[in-house]
Amino acid sequence: MRIVIDVIYLLVALAVTPMVLYRMVRYKRYRAGWSHRFGRIFRKDPALKKCIWLHAVSVGEVNAAKTIVKELEKKFSDFEIVITATTDTGFARATEVFGAKHKVFYFPLDFSWIMRRVFRNIQPVMCLLMELEVWPNFVQIAEKLRIPVIVVNGRISDKSFSRYKKIRPITKNIFQKVSLILAQTDEYAQRFREIGAPKKKVIVTGSLKYDTAQITNKVEGAKALGASLKIKRQRLWVAGATGNDEEKILLDVFRNLKQQEQFKNLRLAIIPRKPERFDEVAQLIKQAGFSLIRYSEVKEGKALTADDKKAVILGDTMGDLRKFYSLATVIFVGRSLVPMGGSDMAEAAALGKPTLFGPHTFNFKQTVKALLEDNGAIMVKDEQGLLDTMQKCLTEPDFAKTIAQNGQDVIRKNQGATAKTIEQITKFLNRT
């Protein structure tokens, strides 16, 4: 079986190589971490400590892992934790969040010979996979070595579920080798069972996003960010984690708002989801007729002119989204006006801000349902709906305040997944 899988991987690699090379040149992606991807991953203390290997694909999964890692550090301080991520942004975020204490690497390619090398180097006693990413050779080698593999914060999107059902014989073989699946919701749990996971191995523990969404009205570094951009006396609309074709809609709405006298002091900050789109979005802002200030330049010490203090702000740095959110008068959570599945709205709601998002939120169905049921956020259908809702939030402060407070209450009410998850992990670690 391993040979068959390796051959398939090799054929796929040959097919995607031109695309990878193009993105390396065009977007400067996939340039780092190739030694890690080919198995050059090493621990700090392989002879002195037991090891937990935690894998998080990208930024969202890395953020979701924060409370788990924190509790593991407390409860199993004699264990070393090795963390891997797949994407460049995920690796950067993992390094920022965990790098001071733990080794962080790019996730290795799932060729059998690479995975065998990595397991030999790391020697984990447990593997934790955030949300879903389960690879055939990875789980086969773990099973052979009798290393438990646990899916944490498990979920299967509508799109992935449709694909997995078509290859159920393959997914069944893979998920039968997984030791435990800790699903976010009953719906996700049932999906795991339908694609082949044994019923007894699937447990609902809730979503970690509620636990990692820190309920607070202040974020460290936000005050300095606001001072550097001179927005203290202005209202700020923050559009975070935006996607393709969405910024044009946001800029059109902003233009309509600015044409009204009562919104003359409104500023807009756009923070694209993907760094490779920073330059593209900068051009879109200019083409829309607005002056532009890039936060990266301000962060490097650029002095603001009078025009800069009124300009649309492009958040073209990593790790500052939450600071922008904390300064916002109103937040729009992106990749939701276009069919991209949405972005994490729990983080915005937890900061006590009126939070808006579009109708395309299939990646966050449970969070959206919880927020909307208790009036903790607002879903807008289209550009006109966004304009109308923005006007209401800006002109009716009591309405906006109620939405914001309800949002924090929803986050608070749904917390607790970390404790349930650690309880299940502990049962396995106590056997080691």
pLDDT average, residue stretch 117-133: 95
pLDDT average, residue stretch 45-61: 89
- Reported as type and span, the H/E element at residue 209 is helix 209-212
Strand partners, 129: 55, 151
* pLDDT tens per residue across span 141-171: 999 999 999 999 999 988 899 999 999 999 9
Q: Domains, the chain, ranges and CATH?
A: 32-206+416-429 (3.40.50.11720), 222-413 (3.40.50.2000)
Q: Are 109 and 9 in contact (CB under 8 A)?
A: yes
Name the amino acid, one letter, at 225.
L
For the record, the structure tokens of 270 come out as 């756009």
For the record, the structure tokens of 133 come out as 């990413």
pLDDT beyond 90 at 303: no
Q: Are 147 and 76 in contact (CB under 8 A)?
A: no
Nearest partner of 249 among 360, 353, 377, judged by Cα = 360
- Any idea what DSSP says for residue 196? T
* pLDDT tens per residue across span 379-397: 999 999 999 999 999 999 9
Q: How far apart are CA 35 and CA 99, in angstroms?
A: 18
* Residue 401 CA, distance from chain mean position: 26
3-state class (DSSP) for residue 130: strand
Mean pLDDT of the chain: 93
* pLDDT tens per residue across span 34-48: 999 999 999 987 777
Q: For position 157, what pLDDT does the model report?
A: 87
Q: How far apart are CA 403 and CA 269, in angstroms?
A: 21
Strand partners, 53: 82, 127
Q: How far apart are CA 353 and CA 236, in angstroms?
A: 11
DSSP 25-92: HHT--S-S-HHHHTT----S-TTTSEEEEEEE-SHHHHHHTHHHHHHHHHHTTTEEEEEEESSHHHHH
pLDDT beyond 80 at 27: no
Residues 6+ apart with CB under 8 A from 366: 184, 185, 187, 207
Nearest partner of 111 among 94, 92, 135, 79, judged by Cα = 135
pLDDT beyond 90 at 2: no
Neighbours of 193 (CB within 10 A): 17
